[in-house]
Amino acid sequence: MTIYNLYIFDRNCSCLYYKEWTRQKEAGIPREEEFKLMYGMIFSLKSLISRLSIISAKEGLVGYTASNYKLHYFETPTGFKFVMNTDTSVGNVQDVLRHIYARIFVEYVVRNPVARPGEHVDSELFAAKLDDYIQDLSFK
C-alpha cells in the first residue's frame, strides 16, 4: 500500500499536524488554504451524510474513493479527525487510523505535558514514531 499523506484536525477546525510521504503534485494553493478546504469538505460531507442517513447517527463518513486516490476518515468521540490519502488498492484502514490515534497520538501528544491542547504538534518523537509506523506499513 502507498500512503500519500495524513492530516490531523481537532474539533476547532485547526490542523494540528500534516505530513506527506508520497505526493507528486501540489494542490496549487497555500497549505493553510488546503487545510481549510479539507476541513470544510469533511464538515459538509458529514452533515450531508447524517441528513441522508436512514437512522439518526452522528458517525457515517469513513472515506471516499476518487479515480486515482482514496481518502480515509476516522473521528474520535472527542472530535479529533484523522484524514489519510492512499492509493486506490488500499482496503479498509480504520484500524490503522485508530492505531495512529490510540498508540501514537495519545501516547506522544496527549500524554506529553509540554504539548498544549489545540496547538500545532511539534513533537519530534511523535513525528518519528508516526513515520516508523507508516514506513512499516508501506512495506507490507
Partner 1 sequence: MSRQGRPQDTRKVSGELFSLTYGALVAQLVRDYEKDEEVNQQLDKMGYNIGVRLIEDFFARSQQGRCHDFAQAADVLTKVGFKMFLGVVPTVANWSAKGDEFSLILDQNPLVDFVELPETHQGLLYSNIICGVIRGALEMVQLEVKVWFVQDQLRGSDSTEIRVKFLKKLEDAVPAGED
Which set of grid coordinates corresponds to residue 131? 513515520
Contact between 30 and partner 1 by CB under 8 A: the answer reads: no
Residue window 96-115: x/- pattern of binding to partner 1, with contact defined by CB under 8 A = -----xxx-xxxx-xx----
Contact between 29 and partner 1 by CB under 8 A: the answer reads: no
Contact between 17 and partner 1 by CB under 8 A: the answer reads: no
Contact between 34 and partner 1 by CB under 8 A: the answer reads: no
Between 38 and 84, name the residue whose CB sits nearer to partner 1: 38
Contact between 53 and partner 1 by CB under 8 A: the answer reads: no
- List binders of partner 1 among 60-79 (CB under 8 A): 76-79
Contact between 23 and partner 1 by CB under 8 A: the answer reads: no
- Distance from C-alpha of 139 to C-alpha of 6, rounded to nearest angstrom: 18
Contact between 133 and partner 1 by CB under 8 A: the answer reads: no
